[in-house]
Amino acid sequence: MLDLTYDPPAPKVIAGATGDWELVIGMEIHAQVASRAKLFSGASTRFGAEPNANVSLIDAAMPGMLPVVNEFCIEQAVRTGLGLKARINLVSAFDRKNYFYPDLPQGYQISQLYHPLVGEGEVLVDMGPGVARKVRIERIHVEQDAGKSIHDMDPNMSFVDLNRTGVALMEIVSRPDIRGPEEAAAYVTKLRQILRYLGTCDGNMQNGNLRADVNVSVCRPGDYERYQESQDFSHLGTRCEIKNMNSMRFIQAAIEYEARRQIAILEDGGAVLQETRLFDPDRGETRSMRSKEEAHDYRYFPCPDLLPLEIEQGWVDDIAASLPELPDAKKARFMGDFGLTDYDASVLTADVANAAYFEAVAAEAGDGKMAANWVINELFGRLKKEGHDITDSPVSAGQLAGIIKLIRAGDISGKIAKDLFEIIYTEGGDPAEIVEARGMKQVTDTGAIEKAVDEIIAANPAQVEKAKANPKLAGWFVGQVMKATGGKANPKAVNEIVTARLGL
Ligand code: ADP
Ligand code: MG
C-alpha cells in the first residue's frame, strides 16, 4: 500500500572561503481560507471587488462591534490540519497582536499565539521520482488578514482598501527542516497541492491567497544534526525572514541571494542581524525592511471579545471521515492500479481536477497506461499551447476515452487517432461517428492492402531489385502503402504483406 518512507535530508552546500556552509530554511505560509465570508464578520471575501465594498462595521472596527467566529473557517483549518496529519487541539484561543498600521483599523490583529487550533503535523515533499523529504509542521493558527495600503495611485496621497481586512488566514508554520531553494519551492508546491485537494484554500498565489515568509540561516556541516538531536536552536545560525513571497521562482532566488549575503558577512567576521527583509525581484536582492520584532513587542494578550474556542472530538472525527483521497495516496494508487510510472502519476495527480479527468478516461477506455499517455502527451500539450486548463478542455473525458477505444478495437491507427483528436479538439463530435462518416477506419482487410502493395511493387521495379539485395529497404514499400491508403492501413499487416510479396 502507501509507502510513506522518506529520504534523509540533503542540504544545499555552498563553498565559502573558510569552508563549506549549509542552508537551513523554515517557512510560515499564509493560506487564505476558501470561505465566502470573513473570519469574524459576514462580509464577502470576493476578490476584485470595488475598494472598500466588502467592509462590515466589524471589519472597520467601529466602537462596540463584537467579532463572532465563522464556524466554516474553523472547519477548514481543522480539515487542513487533518490533511497534514496534525494534532487538532480541542481547546484553542484567540489573542490580540497589537500594532499600528493604517490598513489595520482595530489597531490589533486577532491571531492565535499561545493556543493554536492545530499542532504538530508533517508534509512529505517530493523531490523527483521516488525521493521524498519530510518537513515537520510546528503549528497552524487561524488569524485575520490586514487591509492594503496603496501608495502608487497618487503622488501625494496614500489610499487604504479594507476589503481584505478580517479575511480568514491559516498560518502554517514549518520547522526549519527545509535545506535548499529547490526544496523550499517543492515544499510550497506540495502544501499548495494538498490545500487544493482539501478545498480549504484555492492556492492562487497571484491573488495573494497563498504567500510565504521564508526564514533563512546558514550553518557549518554537522550543526544541523546537532540541532536535530537536541532541538536546541543555538546550534543554528541567526535567521533572516524574507516576507510575503508569492512566486516559486522568487522564493528560490531570494533564498540563494540571502544565503550568500549571510555567508559573506560571517566570513568577514561579522554577525548576521535577525531582521525582516524584502525581496526585490528586479534586482534579485533582499533588503532590510525592519529589525526583527519579538512576540513581546506586540503585547500579545488573550482577546477579551472571544471565548476560548472549544470543539468536540466527534466533530473532528466527522471532518476526518469526509477527507478526500490526498495526493500521496492517489499517486500510489495510480501507480499500483494502472501501472503508471512515478513521473506520470505525479503529473496526473499534481492537480485534483487533472486526476479526476484522467481517472474518468482510464475507467471508460479500459486502459490506464494509454489514458495516461493521451492525457499527458496529447491533451495537456494542446491545452497548454492555448492557455486552457482541464476545466475548460474542449475534449471531454468521454470523447478522449472514445478515441482510445477505437485504437484498442483496431478501428484506427495511432496516427489517425491523432488526426481524430485534432478534429474533436477543434470541431467536437462523437469519435466513432466521425471515424465512420469521414472514412477514417483502418484498413485491416488484407485484400485491399495486398492490392495496394502489388500496385506499388509493379510501379517500382528498380526499388524491388534494391530491396531484394538489401531487405532493410523494404521499409520504403511500407511507407508508400501507408501513403497510398491515407495512413489507414494496419501497419503490421502491411509489413507482413510487403515482406511476403518481395520474398524476403
Ligand atoms: P517567530 O515567532 O519569531 O516568528 P518562530 O520560532 O515562530 O519565530 O519561527 C518562525 C519560523 O522560522 C519557523 O518556520 C521556524 O522554523 C523558522 N526558523 C527558526 N529558526 C530558524 C533558523 N535558525 N534558520 C531558519 N529558519 C528558522
Ligand atoms: Mg512566527
Instruction: Find out whether the beta carbon of 407 lies less than 6 Å from any atom of ligand 1.
Output: no
Report how far ligand 1's centroid is from the alpha carbon of 215 (Å): 6
> Would the CB of 474 count as within 6 Å of ligand 1?
no
> Hey, which of 213, 239, 290, 291 would you mutate to test ligand 1's pocket, going by the most ligand atoms within 8 Å of its Cβ?
239
Give the per-residue pLDDT at 380. Answer: 95
> Ligand 1: which atom is nearest the Cα of residue 237?
23
Please give the model's pTM, rounded to 2 decimal places: 0.88
Distance 390 CA to ligand 2 centre (A): 37
Q: Is 217 in the pocket of ligand 1 (CB under 6 A)?
A: yes
CA–CA gap between residue 124 and residue 4 (Å, rounded): 8
Q: Which of 364, 69, 28, 265 is nearest to 170 (CA)?
A: 28
pLDDT score at 226: 97
Region 473-479: mean pLDDT is 88
Least confident of 181-185, 231-235, 475-479: 475-479
Q: How many Å lie between the centroid of ligand 2 and the Cα of residue 95?
A: 14
- Is the pLDDT confidence value at 154 over 90? yes
**Residue nearest atom 17 in ligand 1 by C-alpha distance:** 26
Q: At residue 475, does pLDDT exceed 60?
A: yes
For the Cβ of 124 lying below 6 angstroms from any atom of ligand 1, the answer is no
What residue owns the CA closest to ligand 1's atom 5? 173
Is the CB of residue 399 below 6 angstroms from any atom belonging to ligand 1? no
CATH 1.10.10 occupies which residues in the chain?
A: 446-502
**Predicted local confidence at residue 365, as pLDDT:** 96
Asked if CATH classification 1.10.3470 holds for the domain at 446-502, the reply, yes or no, is no
Q: What percent of the chain has pLDDT over 90?
A: 80
- pLDDT bucket at 4, cuts 50 / 70 / 90: low
Q: Over 70: is that where the pLDDT of 139 sits?
A: yes
- Asked if residue 2 has pLDDT above 50, the reply is no
Residues whose CB is less than 8 angstroms from the CB of residue 492 and which lie 6 or more positions away in sequence, other chains included: none
Confidence of residue 354 (pLDDT cuts 50, 70, 90): very high
User: H/E element holding 363?
Assistant: helix 352-365
Q: The C-alpha cell of 502 is what?
A: 518481395
Mean pLDDT value across the chain: 94
Q: What is the pLDDT of residues 11-55, one digit of tens each?
A: 999 999 999 999 999 999 999 999 999 999 999 999 989 999 999
Whether 65 shows a pLDDT value over 80: the answer reads yes
214 within ligand 1 shell (Cβ under 6 A) = no
User: Which pLDDT value is given to residue 73?
Assistant: 98
CA distances to 40, 78, 110, 111 from 143, rounded to whole Å, are: 10, 14, 6, 4
The closest of 140, 39, 134 to 88, measured between CA atoms, is 140
Cα 28 to ligand 2 centre (Å): 7
User: The cell 521495379 sits on which residue?
Assistant: 461
